Structure 1
Amino acid sequence: MTQTSPGPVDVGPRSAEASPPANTRATAVVYALTAALPALAAVGLLVLMGSSGPGGGTALTGAGPADHSVQLFISIAVVILAARLFGRLATAVGQPRVVGEIFAGLCLGPSVLGALLPGAGAWLFPAELRPVLQGLADLGLIALMFVVGQETRQTSFKGQGRVAMAVAHAGIAGPFLGGALLAILLYPDWAGPQADPVVFAMFLGSALSITAFPVLARILVERGMLRTLLGRLSMLCAAIADVVAWCLIAAMTAVAGRDTPARAVLTVALVIVYGAAMAWIGRPWLARIFAALEGGREEVRLLVLLSGLLLSAAATSAIGIHAIFGAFLYGLCCPAGSVTRLTERIDTVSGVLLLPFFFVGTGLRTDVWRSGLDASLLGVTALVIVVAMLGKLAGPMLMARASGFGWPDSMTLGVLLNTRGLTELVVLNLGLALGLLSDRLFVALVVMALVTTAAAAPLLGLLDRVRGHGDRRRRGL
C-alpha cells in the first residue's frame, strides 16, 4: 500500500483577520510614500524652523546641550578604547599595561593629537567637558588609592620586616636627597608660582621616593616572581616606602598654599587627628561592621564600602588636603578578608572605566610644544631621569647586598623599586594643582615616570640573562 507524505497541518479554517499574501514591491512603494517621505519632510521642516527662529538653531548647530552629550559619549568611548588598545600594545612588547595607558593619554593630548589635528582635539575634549572628565578621573583616583591601601594592608611583614625596613629606608633617603638637591638647582626657574624653597624640595624629594605599588605587583605576577623571596621583599619595601612618602606628601600638601603659619599648623593637626581616629576608632568599627554584614547580600556590603570610601575622601578634602589621602587611609583601615572580593570589583571598574580619564587629564596638561621643546627642557628631563634612577637603584641595591643578597638579586630589587608608573602621575598632578610645579618641570617629571617604569622590563631581562650566565659558569657548562 503506497503511503503519501502528509501535507501541512490544518490548524483550522482561515480567520478573517489573517494577513493576506503581500506584494513586496507595492509594499515598499506605499511605505516610502506614507512613512519615509513624510518623516523626512517633517525633519526638514524642523531644521528650517530652527535655523530661522530666535537663536539661530543652537541645538542643531553645535552649541547646545544635546551636542555636548554626543561629544561626551564619543569622548568616553575614545578614551576607554585608546587606553585598552595602547595597554594591549604595551603588554605585547613586554611592558606593563600602565606604560601603554600613560602613552595613550599623552597621545590624546596637545602633544600629539592637538599638534597633528588641533580641530579634532578641541572637538573631542572641549572646555565644557573638562569638569566632567576631571570628575571621572577623580573617582578613578579615589578607587585606585583605596586599592593601594588594601594591598598595602594585606602585605605581610612576617620574617622579613627588618630587612624590608632597612631596604625601604635606603630607597627613600637616597631619592629624597636627590630630589632636594635638584630643588636647589631648579627652584629659581622651574618651580611653580605657589612653591617656596622648602615645600618645593619636600615635594621633589617625596615624588622621587615613590614606588608604584600596583604596577610593581603586576610586574611580579607577569614574571612569576610574586611568591618568591625577592618578590615578597620588594612588595614589603614598596609598601613601607609608599606609606612614608604619602605621609610626607600629606604634610607638604597641608603646608602648601596656606596664607599663615597658623592655618598650616591647624591643617597638619587635623590630618594627624583624622589619621589617628581612623587607625584607633575607624579600623575596629569597620571590622565589626563588615563582620556583621558577612554572609549577607554583596550589594549591601558594596554600598557600605563605597559610602565609607567617599565619606573618608570628603573628610580629608574638607580638612584641606587631597581626597586621595582619605581613600588611602580608608583602604588601610578596611578589613582585608571581608572586602577582598569587593576590592577586586572596584579595581576592575576603576581600571577599565575611570582611570583612563586620569591618563587623559595628565596628557591634556602635558604640552611639550607650549612648554618649549628646547635644550634646557631636554637637559632637565635627562637630569631628572638620572637622579631618579640612581637614587632608587643605589640605596636598595647596596642595602640588599649588605643583608646577604647577591649582586644580581640586589640589582633586581633596585630595578623593581624604580617603577613609578601611575602613582607617580598622581603625585605630579597633585603638585601641579597646588602650584608647586611649572608646566615645563611637569613635562620633565611625566617623562621621567614613563621612562623609569618602561626601563624595568628590559633591565630585569638583562639581569635574568646575567644570572643565568653565572649559573651556567658555576655548573661548568
Structure 2
Amino acid sequence: MQDHVSSAMSDSNLELTLDVLPALTVILLTAAVVGRLATLLGQPRVLGEIVAGILLGPTLFGWLAPGLQADVFPAHTRPVLHVLSTIGLTLYMFLVGAGLDPARHESDRKHHPAVLALSGFLPSLVLGGLVGLLMWDDLSPEDVGRWEFSLFVGGALSLTALPMLARMLYERGLQNSRLGRLSLIAASIDDAAAWCFLAALTAVHTGSGAANALPMIGYSLLFTAVMLLGVKRLLRPLARHVGPQGTLSPGVMHVVVIVPIVCGYLTDLIGIYSVFGGFVAGLAMPRDPRFRQALHNRMMDTVSTLLLPIFFCLSGLTTDLRGISADTLLFGVAVLLTGFAGKYFGSTLAMRTLRFSWREAFAVGGLMNARGMMILIFINIGLAQGLITKPVFSVLVVVAVVTSAAALPLYRRALPKRLETQLDNKAPTPAPAPRSLAGVGRPDGAATYRRRIENPIHPDNTPLH
C-alpha cells in the first residue's frame, strides 16, 4: 500500500514537472525575444519583458489560441509559478534595497533630493486619489472603502521605478552625473515612501478597520526597527569577506540568500507581503561599495533573467484588456493623464526651483515617470489583498507600460546626447566679481557684471542655460 502511494506521488510530481518546465521555457523565450525588441527600439529590456507577460495572457495568446494557452499554462502549474515569482520578487526587492546608496554627495546636499521626491510623489498621490474618489462607486470592490480605494490608486501612481531608472542612467553612463545622482536618490525616497504607504494601507484593509490593524502596523514597525537597528550591525562583518576579485564566498552567499527569504516569510506572517521583508533585508545589508557591487554581480542576472519573467507572465495572465467597460476605460485615461502630469510637471517645477535649466528639468520630469515593474508589484499586492478588481488591475498595467515607455523618449527630447556631457562636465570658472561697487563703473567691471547677469552660474559652476 505504501509503495503504491509513493509511486502515485512520484508519477504526480513527474507530471507536474513536465507541465512546469514547458511553461518556463515559453516564458523565458518570449521574455528574451520581446526584451530584445524593446532594446532595439531604445527601451529598457525590462519593459519588453512586461509586455511579453501581457502577450502571453488572455489579451493576445488566450484570445488567439485559448486551448493552446490552457495547455501551456494549466491551472495546476499556477501555484508553482506563483511560488517561484514570489521568491524572485523577494530577492529582487532585496537587491533593490541593498543597492540604495544613502551617501550624500556635495551636489546632492545643495539640490535637496527630498524636494524632487516630494514634488513627484505628492501631486501624483493627490491627483490619483481624486480619480479614485470619483470612480469608487463604479469600480471599487464591495468591501473596500472610498478612501482605501482612492489612496491605493494615488499610491500606485506616486511610484518611480528605481531599478528601471537606474538601468536607463547606466545605459547612458549618467549614474554618477548630477542629474543621475539626484534622480536616483529622489526615486529611492519615492519608492520607500510608497512601500510604507502600501504596508499601512494593507494593514488597515486586512484588519477590517484601523483599530484592528494597529497590531499589524506595530509588528511591521517592530520588524523594521529590529532589522535596521539590530540585525544590520550583525551583518556588517559580511563586507570584510569580499574576495580580491570582487566575489563573495559560498558561506557569505548562504547568509545573503537566507536573510531575505526569512524576512519575506516573517512579513508574510505579519500580513504585509514578502516583498517588504526582502526590501528591508536589503536595507540591512552592509553599505560597503565593493560588497554591494559583488552582491549585484552575483545575483542580479539570475534573478532578473530566470525569476522575474515568471512574475511578468503571471501579471499578464491576470491582465485581460478585451472586456474593459466604458467606465474602466474612462478610469484608465484619467489615471494615465493625472499620473503622468503629477510626476512630470511636479518634478519639472521642482528642478527649476532647484535652479536647473529647463532642459534638465524636463529631462528629469520624463525620467521620474518610469514606473516599470514597481507599480506591477504594487498593484499585484493590491489585487491579492482585494483592494482592486481585475479590470482596474488590467488598466493600471497599461498605465505602467505607457508611462514607462514615454520616460526615455521624453528624456532624449529634452536632453539630447550632445548636450549631456556639456551640462554635466562643462564647468567654466565664474568671472571674477568686481572688488567693489565702484569697480562696476570701470570698463572691465561693467563687462564682468553684464556677463554675470546675462549668464548666471549654477551653484556647481555649470551654466543654467
Does TM, normalized by the shorter one, top 0.5?
yes
Q: Which has the larger radius of gyration?
A: 1
What is the distance in 1 between the residues matched to 2:139 and 2:197? 21
Query: Aligned pair in 2 of structure 1 residues 374, 187: CA closer, same or farther (>3 Å)?
Result: closer
Aligned to 1:110: 58
2:344 is aligned with what amino acid? L
**Conservation of the 8 A alpha-carbon contact between 1:193 and 1:436:** no
Match of residue 256 from structure 2: 305
Residues 47-446 of structure 1 mapped to structure 2, 5 A cutoff: 65-153=13-101, 156=104, 158-161=106-109, 163-288=112-237, 290-291=238-239, 293=241, 298-337=249-288, 338-369=291-322, 372-446=323-397
Given that residues 212 and 421 in structure 1 are in contact (C-alpha distance below 8 angstroms), is that contact kept between their aligned partners in structure 2? yes
**Could you tell me which amino acid in structure 2 is paired with residue 95 of structure 1?**
Q
Return the letter of the residue paired with 1:453: S
Match for 1:100: what amino acid?
A: G
Deviation string 1:283-325 (CA, Å, 9 cap, x unpaired) is 111113x156555971110001111111111111111111111
Paired residues of 2:165 and 2:370 also in contact (CA < 8 A) = yes
C-alpha deviations, 1:124-169, integer Å up to 9, x for none? 1111000000111101100110111012235645541452111111
Structure 1 stretch displaced more, 209-218 or 190-199 = 190-199
What's the TM-score once normalised by structure 1's chain length?
0.81
CA displacement, residues 428-469 of structure 1 (integer Å, 9 cap, x when unaligned): 10111111111111111110000000011221222135996x
Structure-2 change in CA distance of 1:71 and 1:260 (3 Å): same
Q: Which amino acid aligns with 2:51?
A: F
2:436 paired residue number: none
Query: How much has 1:236 moved relative to structure 2?
Result: 1.1
Name the counterpart of 1:35: none
The question of whether the paired residues in 2 share the 8 Å contact of 1:194 and 1:256 is answered with no
**Cα distance in 2, alignment partners of residues 153 and 405 from structure 1:** 23
Secondary structure of the 1:74 match is helix
Q: Distance in 2 between matches of 1:69 and 1:286?
A: 37
Distance 1:301 1:339 in 2: 13
Distance 1:275 1:294 in 2: 26
CA distance in 1, matches of 2:390, 2:251: 44
Q: Compared with structure 1, are the counterparts of its residues 310 and 64 closer, same or farther at alpha carbon in structure 2 (3 Å cutoff)?
A: closer
Say which SS state the counterpart of residue 268 (structure 2) adopts. Answer: helix
Worse overlay, 194-203 or 329-338: 194-203
Q: Is the alpha carbon distance of 1:335 and 1:465 closer, same or farther for their aligned partners in structure 2, counting shifts above 3 Å?
A: closer
Q: What residue number does 2:426 align with?
A: none
Which digits, 9 at most, give the CA deviation of each residue in 1:396-433, with x for residues without a partner?
Answer: 11111011111111111111111000111000101111
CA shift digits 1:185-218 (9 cap, x unpaired): 1111111344212222221121111000000011
| Structure-2 separation of matches of 1:232 and 1:252 | 30
Q: 1:155 to 1:359 in 2, by over 3 A?
A: farther
Residue 180 of structure 1: how far off its partner (Å)? 1.2
Distance 2:242 2:412 in 1: 44
Q: Deviations over 1:326-368 (max 9, x none)?
A: 1100101100323531232221111111000000000010012
Q: Structure 1 residues 64 and 316 mapped into 2: Cα distance closer, same or farther (>3 Å)?
A: closer
Question: Kindly tell me: are residues 226 and 343 of structure 1, through their superposed partners in 2, closer, same or farther at Cα, counting changes over 3 Å?
Answer: closer
Whether 1:447 aligns to 2:398 is: yes
The answer to whether the 8 Å contact 1:95/1:457 transfers is yes
| Alignment gaps of 5+ in structure 1 | 1-57
Give the conservation status (yes or no) of the 8 Å contact 1:193–1:438: no
The SS at the match of 1:153 is: coil
Judging changes above 3 Å, is the alpha-carbon distance between structure 1 residues 311 and 65 closer, same or farther for their aligned structure 2 residues?
closer
Any idea what SS the aligned residue of 1:256 has? helix
Separation (CA, whole Å) in 2 of partners of 1:122 and 1:91 = 30
- The answer to whether the 8 Å contact 1:316/1:326 transfers is yes
Letter of the aligned partner of 1:355 in structure 2? Answer: L
CA deviation after TM superposition for structure 1 residue 88, in Å: 0.5
| Stretches of structure 2 lacking an aligned partner (at least 5 in a row) | 1-7, 423-454, 456-465
Q: Distance in 2 between matches of 1:180 and 1:421?
A: 20
Following TM superposition, by how much is the alpha carbon of 1:373 offset from its aligned partner in structure 2, in angstroms? 3.4
Which amino acid is 1:116 matched to? L
User: Does structure 1 conserve the Cα–Cα contact (< 8 Å) formed by 2:133 and 2:147?
Assistant: no
Quick check: 157-166 or 233-242, which moved more? 157-166
Asked if the contact 2:133/2:149 (under 8 Å) is kept, the reply is no
How well do the aligned residues superpose, as a CA RMSD in angstroms? Answer: 2.3
Amino acid at match of 1:348: D
Identity across matched positions, percent:
35
Q: Given the two structures, how large is their TM-score scaled by the length of structure 2? A: 0.83
Aligned partner of residue 111 in structure 1, secondary structure: coil
